[in-house]
Structure 1
Amino acid sequence: MSGLFITFEGGEGAGKSTQARLLADHLRGLGLDVDLTREPGGTKGAEALRDFLLFGGHDLSPRAEVMAHFAARADHVDRRIAPALAAGKVVICDRFTDSTEAYQGHGLGNGDPALLDMIARLRALVPAVPDLTLVLRVPPAIAAARMAERASARTDRYEALDTAFHARVAAGFDAIARRDATRCRRIDASATMDAVQDDIRAVVAPYLKRADNA
């Protein structure tokens, strides 16, 4: 089986991390070798950058913040994702380049064309492209309720931003899903955890067959 690269995307409260973990457990149960990882993070250096970006109290310029995310991504791809794919593993990543476009380009950058162009040029340098991206979508009210339920957890700087920011992020993900409709599949994540996972498994199943025949 050749490597298969699946990414999970979506705004806060969409349940990405939970659904990525459930899918990884399911695929392992099928006997597949799965590497479940996340961004920013996934390697020692990238995790250090994650802590800085999410909790460091910094005030980087928009361009500098984008570059910091891609620096973490470069280490993650070079040291973990690319080797895992080369070894024939299924790599499941909680966030990837689409999150940088949605959060930094649309959310923080308000869709600034120059910033989006910079992100596109940096994306083109990343030697790993997802085979499938699952974009989880939930209405704002459900997302807010889910975020409130985990209020005791450590809140990162993006979660703490206002509703206008999160609306721009959601619009950014919708724009990405429309533009890259072959790679991206939108998932209604407002249903129960099990129902959402069933929908995800149905979308993923054909990709497993394609990879098995590669």
Structure 2
Amino acid sequence: MSSRGLWITVEGGDGSGKTTQSALLMAWLSTLDRTVLHTREPGGSEVGELIRNIVLHHRGHIAPRAEALLYAADRAHHVATVVRPALERGDIVLQDRYLDSSVAYQGAGRVLDATEVRALSMWATEGALPDVTVLLDIDPVAARERLDAADKPFDRLEAEKLEFHTRVREAYLALAAAEPERFVVIDAQQPVEEIAQQIRARIESALTAA
């Protein structure tokens, strides 16, 4: 058994299937001889749950810079109290969303300076970056059809207009192009099991390297 932890993050626009694929990946990881922690941002800690309620479910307006700062505050606490201790124990950390979400949603989506948004999170987490980031890429129109079919209330970000989600997608793809050694980009409109197999193949490679 490796003594080195492995940190995996799952990213993508709303409706890309992150919840489904994270659950399938968690089920597969649980069959390995490793301790696995499944967490999320925002909300991977007690403090994070309070912040999650504000940034996703607050009914009123939140200034874009305030929103970015709230996500960074959650991230700072989450990495310090949940992620880093798990990695130091040699665990596998599977995490739904990380700083790439802030760059895409608060940077591109809210039209803030993406470089500043990323720098804020890097400062908040002392430069912590995942070993592997799975990006589930989907056309925003197809994603909206999925969300509509799910027949559930939208949170503050899901409710944004198509132009917002188009900017988010473009930002994600730019991030992946800039860091190909960390990202694996997967077409999220493929069959669920095909996507899961592609993700597992990338994680197996990372586990072997670790």
How far is 1:21 from its partner? 1.5
SS in 2 for 1:185: strand
The residue type paired with residue 88 of structure 1 is G
The residue type paired with residue 34 of structure 2 is L
Match of 1:89 among 88, 91, 105: 91
Aligned to 2:178: 179
Aligned to 2:198: 199
Aligned to 2:121: 123
Aligned 1:58-73 pairs, distance under 5 A: 58-73=60-75
The residue type paired with residue 204 of structure 1 is I
The residue type paired with residue 163 of structure 1 is L
Q: Deviations over 1:125-175 (max 9, x none)?
A: 2132100101101223321221112222x3201001110111010011011
Match of 1:43 among 42, 45, 67: 45
Q: Is the 8 A contact 1:21 1:36 kept in 2?
A: no
How far is 1:55 from its partner? 0.4
Output the TM-score relative to the length of structure 2: 0.94
| C-alpha distance in 1 between matches for 2:200 and 2:165 | 27
Q: Deviations over 1:64-87 (max 9, x none)?
A: 111110001111111111111111
Q: Which moved more, 1:52-61 or 1:37-46?
A: 52-61
| C-alpha distance in 1 between matches for 2:118 and 2:129 | 13
Q: For structure 1, which runs of at least 5 residues remain unmatched after alignment?
A: none
Aligned 1:83-162 pairs, distance under 5 A: 83-109=85-111, 112=112, 115-125=113-123, 126-127=125-126, 128-152=128-152, 154-162=153-161
SS in 2 for 1:29: coil
Aligned sequence identity (%): 37
| C-alpha distance in 1 between matches for 2:162 and 2:118 | 26
Q: Is the 8 A contact 2:102 2:118 kept in 1?
A: no
Q: Which moved more, 1:29-38 or 1:83-92?
A: 29-38
Whether 1:25 aligns to 2:27 is: yes
Q: How many corresponding residue pairs?
A: 206
| C-alpha distance in 2 between matches for 1:171 and 1:58 | 27
The residue type paired with residue 187 of structure 2 is D
How far is 1:41 from its partner? 1.0
| C-alpha distance in 1 between matches for 2:190 and 2:91 | 30
Q: For structure 2, which runs of at least 5 residues remain unmatched after alignment?
A: none
Output the TM-score relative to the length of structure 1: 0.92
| C-alpha distance in 2 between matches for 1:84 and 1:187 | 27
